């Protein structure tokens, strides 16, 4: 069958199981768009900015586990993908982006709308392709999907010159098994190292599991739980690991790191064994590396060998698939108990409870973002997919929404990309239309990509938006308050009337200023089934996320929420 390059693109996408493409057309990708109508199997979502397309593809990928696809034209269309690619790269999200490119004959001539996008994206993609002949197109696309989804997933970009889209060739879809000489996506965990890990586990008295996104990507949630229970080992979570272990489980320590739970950070610092499962010792998780978990021996299991010994040197580093490795490790590992250790952790937990905002009698009548997230959690029964933007509200979602394997957190962790929330949530909602989706965004980040409201309306995407309006770039304001003597430079923020703005898009919206209005607003949103719904939560402006480990400080050196107002201490007073 003779097909054009443009037709081959769609034929290949369909064979890769793609039915949804997020994109934005332009001259250099027009031949491909021109043939779109011949492929009714593919639904194309016109976004309002190419960055939105990448975050939608990313959110879709995180919500479904499938590869998300974004498409853009050359030059400015392609450069608009950069933030989304970097975001997906740092969080290991499988994505394929296809960009138009100027014709091969003028590449390198600074032709109209030419950008060297394979050069630009080289360090922020898992791999990329410049397709120079129509004959290799189908091979490139199949390889791109294979690379994006195998091993440690990541984004792949295919740059497609206009003449290659127009040229024709005999199309046959290559079905041979892909084997690339330099790519071994799933290393085999060596048995001798697994045995050494078992020995450390048997002799440990104060073990802690550090569970990351690798648990979710490997599908090792059941294995993690069985392992934790049979070895009575508490589990600390990374931000991206939220959901891989049920947070109502007695062994769950909650999130670790800069804004982690006190008990999680203390447990790590006092542990004599760290079991790092599918995480990468990011600086937001470890704090000062020189004083990190000083008493602990360390076992690290990750599918990407380059993560082993990268930030933290470990006694046993195992490169392999987590699910398979845990299954093997548990064979020959008899049940273990650590009741003294668990009791010690319980005392740290009591302290956290004592300092907990929600347990305090609050002086100020203003609505707290923590209350908003907590109530959202109860009102959704913990069964919503939460997609956040970046900032204080993101950390409050991490702290106050308990996630589970079916409803894991979707957030830009590694890159911390403001503007991810709304488009990420639209992508997630389109991937899982039967689930309840809540985007939680700040007034700052929301305004970075709010143009995608129109996309949500055009596509009738049922996505609930909880806009946490504190009138500030709150997280930066918090740093200024704590570390820059309250010089609030460039963080107070004037915003539009968000409800009127929503109305301009035809989106119903309500404003909430008091806690007892939350339930009604959330119920209204849940009842609105055909399209987006926005709730603006006007919250206290000068609230601070506690605990906080200042950047570069020791992990146990946390700034805690003051406890003056806690009921227990109140009782003592006359």
Partner 1 sequence: MTTRSTITALVENRPGVLNRVVSIFRRPGLNLDSLTVGRTDRSEISRMTMVLEGTKADAQHVMRELNRLIHVITVEEMNGTPYVTRDLALIKVGATVENKSEILQMCGHYRARIVDAAAASILIEVVGEEPEIEGLVGLLEPFGIIEMVRAGVVAMARAEHVLDTHCESSSWAEQRRSLSKAS
Beta bridge partners of residue 384, listed in sequence order: 436
Least distance (Å) from partner 1 to the CB of residue 60?
Answer: 24
Residue 172 CA to residue 536 CA, distance in Å, equals: 52
Least distance (Å) from ligand TPP to the CB of residue 468?
Answer: 6
Residue 365, number of CB atoms within 10 A of its CB: 9
> Which is closer to partner 1, CB of 163 or CB of 540?
163
To the query of whether residue 353 is one of the catalytic residues in this protein, the response is no
Residue 570, number of CB atoms within 10 A of its CB: 11
Q: Should residue 163 be labelled a site residue for Mg ion when binding is judged by CB under 5 A?
A: no
Q: Should residue 168 be labelled a site residue for partner 1 when binding is judged by CB under 8 A?
A: no
> Which is closer to ligand TPP, CB of 151 or CB of 419?
419
To the query of whether residue 558 is one of the catalytic residues in this protein, the response is no
> Which is closer to Mg ion, CB of 169 or CB of 478?
478
Which helix or strand (DSSP H or E) is residue 198 part of?
helix 191-203
Among 132, 288, 458, 517, binds partner 1 (CB under 8 A): 132
Least distance (Å) from ligand TPP to the CB of residue 420?
Answer: 9
Separation of first and last alpha carbons in the chain: 89
Least distance (Å) from Mg ion to the CB of residue 364?
Answer: 17
Q: Of these residues, 7, 11, 16, 50, which one is catalytic?
A: 50
Q: Of these residues, 56, 430, 475, 548, which one is catalytic?
A: 475
Least distance (Å) from ligand TPP to the CB of residue 375?
Answer: 17
Residues 74 and 41 sit within 8 Å (Cβ to Cβ): no
To the query of whether residue 162 is one of the catalytic residues in this protein, the response is yes
Residues 548 and 259 sit within 8 Å (Cβ to Cβ): yes
What own/partner pairs with CB < 8 Å and gap ≥ 24 does 300-304 have? 300/276, 301/189, 301/197, 301/214, 301/275, 301/276, 301/277, 301/325, 301/326, 302/214, 302/276, 302/278, 303/151, 303/152, 303/185, 303/186, 303/187, 303/214, 303/217, 303/218, 303/278, 304/151, 304/152
To the query of whether residue 112 is one of the catalytic residues in this protein, the response is yes
Mask for 272-311, x = binds partner 1 (CB under 8 A): --------------------------------xxx--xx-
**Edge-first strand listing for the sheet containing 127-130:** 43-46, 20-23, 68-72, 95-101, 155-161, 127-130
Residues 383 and 436 sit within 8 Å (Cβ to Cβ): yes
The DSSP symbol for 397 reads H
Least distance (Å) from partner 1 to the CB of residue 107?
Answer: 12
> Which is closer to partner 1, CB of 143 or CB of 223?
143
175-199 as b/e, with b when 16 or more CB fall inside 10 Å? eeeeeeeeeeeeeebeeebbeebbe
Among 76, 119, 433, 506, binds partner 1 (CB under 8 A): 119
Phi, psi of 43 (to 5 degrees): -100, 125
Please choose, from the candidates 319, 277, 274, the residue with its C-alpha nearest in 3D space to the C-alpha of residue 297: 274
> Which is closer to partner 1, CB of 125 or CB of 380?
125
> Which is closer to ligand TPP, CB of 253 or CB of 538?
538
Looking at residues 469 to 508 of the shown chain, list those that interact with Mg ion (rule: CB under 5 A): 470, 474
Name the binder of 393 from partner 1, Mg ion, ligand TPP, none, CB < 5-8 A by kind.
ligand TPP
Name the binder of 178 from Mg ion, partner 1, ligand TPP, none, CB < 5-8 A by kind.
partner 1
Name the binder of 381 from partner 1, Mg ion, ligand TPP, none, CB < 5-8 A by kind.
none
Q: Of these residues, 66, 113, 247, 327, which one is catalytic?
A: 113
Residues at the interface with ligand TPP (CB under 6 A): 389-393, 416-419, 442-445, 468, 470, 472-476
Within 8 A by CB and 6+ apart from 359, the residues are: 353, 566, 567
Residue 468 CA to residue 370 CA, distance in Å, equals: 10
Least distance (Å) from ligand TPP to the CB of residue 476?
Answer: 5
Q: Of these residues, 114, 126, 162, 546, which one is catalytic?
A: 162
Which residue ranges make up the site for Mg ion (CB under 5 A)?
442-444, 470, 474
Which residue ranges make up the site for partner 1 (CB under 8 A)?
118-119, 122-123, 126-127, 130, 132-133, 135-136, 139, 143, 147, 174, 176-184, 304-306, 309-310
Could you give the residue numbers annotated as active site?
50, 112-113, 162, 475
């Amino acid at each position: 069958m003779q097909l054009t390059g443009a037709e081959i693109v769609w034929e290949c996408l369909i064979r890769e199981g793609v039915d949804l493409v997020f994109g934005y057309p332009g001259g250099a990708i027009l031949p491909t768009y021109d043939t779109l109508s011949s492929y009714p199997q593919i639904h194309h979502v016109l976004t309002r900015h190419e960055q939105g397309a990448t975050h939608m593809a990313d959110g879709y990928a995180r919500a479904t586990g499938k590869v998300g696809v974004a498409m853009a034209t050359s030059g400015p269309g392609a450069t608009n993908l950069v933030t989304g690619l970097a975001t997906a790269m740092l969080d290991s999200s499988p994505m394929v982006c296809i960009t138009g490119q100027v014709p091969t004959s003028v590449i390198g001539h600074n032709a109209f709308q030419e950008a060297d996008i394979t050069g630009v994206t080289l360090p922020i993609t898992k791999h990329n392709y410049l397709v120079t002949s129509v004959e290799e197109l189908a091979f490139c696309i199949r390889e791109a999907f294979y690379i994006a989804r195998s091993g440690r997933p990541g984004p792949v970009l295919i740059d497609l010159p206009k003449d290659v889209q127009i040229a024709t060739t005999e199309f046959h879809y290559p079905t041979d098994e892909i084997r690339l000489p330099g790519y071994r996506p799933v290393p085999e965990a060596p048995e001798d190292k697994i045995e050494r890990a078992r020995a450390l586990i048997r002799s440990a008295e104060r073990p802690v599991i550090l569970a990351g996104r690798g648990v979710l990507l490997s599908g090792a949630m059941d294995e993690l739980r069985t392992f934790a229970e049979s070895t009575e080992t508490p589990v600390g979570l990374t931000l991206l690991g939220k959901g891989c272990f049920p947070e109502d489980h007695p062994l769950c320590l909650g999130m670790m790191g800069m804004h982690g739970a006190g008990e999680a950070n203390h447990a790590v610092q006092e542990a004599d064994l760290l079991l790092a499962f599918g995480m990468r010792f990011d600086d937001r998780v470890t704090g000062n590396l020189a004083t990190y978990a000083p008493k602990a021996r360390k076992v690290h299991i990750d599918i990407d060998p380059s993560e082993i010994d990268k930030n933290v040197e470990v006694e046993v580093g195992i490169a392999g698939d987590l699910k398979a490795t845990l299954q093997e490790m548990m064979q020959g590992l008899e049940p273990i108990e650590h009741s003294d250790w668990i009791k010690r952790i319980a005392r740290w937990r009591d302290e956290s409870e004592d300092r907990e905002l929600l347990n305090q009698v609050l002086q100020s009548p203003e609505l707290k973002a923590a209350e908003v997230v907590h109530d959202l959690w109860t009102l959704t029964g913990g069964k919503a997919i939460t997609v956040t933007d970046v900032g204080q509200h993101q950390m409050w979602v991490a702290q106050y929404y308990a996630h589970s394997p079916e409803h894991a957190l979707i957030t830009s962790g590694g890159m911390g990309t403001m503007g991810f929330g709304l488009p990420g949530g639209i992508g997630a909602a389109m991937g899982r239309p039967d689930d309840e989706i809540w985007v939680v965004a700040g007034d700052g980040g929301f305004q970075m990509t709010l143009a995608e409201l129109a996309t949500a309306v055009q596509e009738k995407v049922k996505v609930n938006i909880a806009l946490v309006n504190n009138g500030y770039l709150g997280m930066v304001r918090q740093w200024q308050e704590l570390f820059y003597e309250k010089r609030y430079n460039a963080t107070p923020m004037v915003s539009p009337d968000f409800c009127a703005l929503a109305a301009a898009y035809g989106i119903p919206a309500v404003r909430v200023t008091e806690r007892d209005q939350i339930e009604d607003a959330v119920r209204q949103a849940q009842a609105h089934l055909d399209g987006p719904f926005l709730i603006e939560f006007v919250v206290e402006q000068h609230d601070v996320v506690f605990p906080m480990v200042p950047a570069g400080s020791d992990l146990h050196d946390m700034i805690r929420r003051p406890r003056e107002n806690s009921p227990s201490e109140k009782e003592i007073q006359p």
